[in-house]
């Protein structure tokens, strides 16, 4: 492999992955960023190959296509460090499958980077941006609005395939620890990143081979995927009530003065009930405690469920 090393950024969802990809990975000249929003991802075929790594069963997964795609990017890297990044890596809740495939594609010495976020806040963000906009789904249900209580209850009942499992960071990371070795796995808190904690950015800089101050500057210069506003969600909900048999348009893409008005104001934030928060503590507490101990993190500082 004609690269200085490989970094596997495996997410997680709602942890500023797009900002890292567009702001830090893509803008650093000593890195070749491959994956979501990366250098050289120019075709739907290549994007499909990448996504197939994360969930396609073995009889339908093409090792040849995946290996050819990675080999091409090793050549494009041309002596630079390569960052393979995708927030979808853990979305299918098949971490052992993904870890084994990535090890075979990049070798056992790759550095694994996972950015985590307080699960309550991550789920709130995911619901506002995705869960409330029912998709994928057939017409007339596509982009139907789902109440937060209904969405949370559905995800709770289907935990193995739910977004609750996706944010079980310890369970998602353990296969990568076993596959690549603890010394090659790094965990950074989203909260430390956005609050410019230099300890976190020094670790990121060491992994990527760039100065912490430069990485932080690139990160702060890029803003991606702002959470929908209360106005946007409210209009979509009203539209759905008035026209129940038609697909609801994505009101977040409305242009003009009306679109700008919709996009201003407070960001959408679901209301959590005490019993729902209690369920988060029961669900995430064991993994968060192990994660905090193993990686010397300050999860209790940021109010992670059960990390007291």
Three-state secondary structure call for residue 189? strand
pLDDT at 143: 64
pLDDT < 50 regions, the chain: none
112 within 8 A of 106, measured Cβ to Cβ: no
CATH architecture of the domain with residue range 6-117+167-226+285-302: 3-Layer(aba) Sandwich (3.40)
pTM, to two decimals: 0.87
Q: Give the model confidence (pLDDT) of 70-97 as tens digits.
A: 999 999 998 999 999 998 899 889 999 9
Terminal C-alpha separation, the chain: 44
Query: For 50, how many CA atoms within 13 A lie in the half-sphere containing its CB?
Result: 24
Instruction: List all residues 6 or more positions away from 56 whose beta carbon is below 8 Å from its beta carbon.
Output: none
The token pair that represents 97 in the structure block: 């499958």
| Res 52: pLDDT | 93
Which pLDDT belongs to residue 222?
A: 78
Supply the Cα-derived Rg of the chain in whole angstroms.
Answer: 20
Torsion from C-alpha of 23, 25, 26, 27, nearest 10 degrees? 60
Please give the Cα distance from 246 to 157 (Å, whole number).
Answer: 28
Q: What pLDDT shows up at residue 203?
A: 95
CA 286 to chain centre: 22
Residue-wise pLDDT for 133-153, tens only, equals: 666 566 666 666 778 898 899
Domain extents for the chain?
Answer: 6-117+167-226+285-302, 119-165+228-267
> What is the DSSP secondary-structure string of 25-48?
ITT-TTEEEEETT-TT---HHHHH
């Amino acid at each position: 492999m004609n690269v200085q090393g490989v970094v596997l950024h495996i997410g997680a969802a709602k942890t500023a992955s797009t900002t890292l990809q567009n702001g830090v990975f893509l803008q650093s000249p000593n890195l070749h960023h491959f994956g979501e929003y990366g250098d050289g991802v120019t075709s739907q075929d290549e994007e499909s190959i990448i996504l197939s790594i994360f969930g396609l069963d073995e009889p339908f997964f093409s090792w040849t296509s995946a290996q050819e795609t990675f080999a091409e990017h090793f050549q494009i890297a041309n002596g630079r460090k390569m960052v393979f990044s995708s927030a979808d890596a853990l979305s299918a809740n098949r971490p052992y499958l993904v870890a084994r495939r990535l090890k075979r594609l990049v070798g056992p010495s790759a550095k694994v980077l996972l950015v985590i976020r307080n699960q309550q806040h991550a789920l709130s963000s995911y619901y506002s941006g995705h869960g409330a906009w029912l998709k994928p789904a057939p017409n007339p249900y596509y982009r139907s609005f789902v109440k937060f209580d209904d969405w949370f209850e559905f995800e709770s009942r289907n935990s193995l395939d739910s977004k609750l499992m996706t944010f079980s960071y310890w369970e998602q990371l353990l296969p990568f620890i076993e596959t690549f070795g603890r010394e090659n796995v790094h965990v950074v808190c989203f909260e430390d990143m956005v609050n410019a904690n230099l300890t976190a950015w020094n670790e990121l800089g060491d992994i990527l081979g760039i100065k912490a101050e430069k990485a932080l500057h690139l990160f702060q210069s890029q803003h991606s995927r702002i959470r929908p506003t209360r106005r946007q969600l409210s209009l979509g909900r009203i539209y759905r009530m008035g026209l129940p048999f038609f697909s609801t348009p994505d009101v977040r893409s409305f242009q003009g003065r009306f679109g700008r008005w919709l996009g201003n104001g407070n960001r959408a934030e679901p209301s959590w009930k005490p019993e729902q928060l209690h369920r988060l503590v029961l669900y995430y507490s064991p993994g968060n405690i192990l994660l905090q101990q193993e990686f010397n993190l300050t999860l209790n500082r940021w109010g992670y469920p059960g990390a007291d």
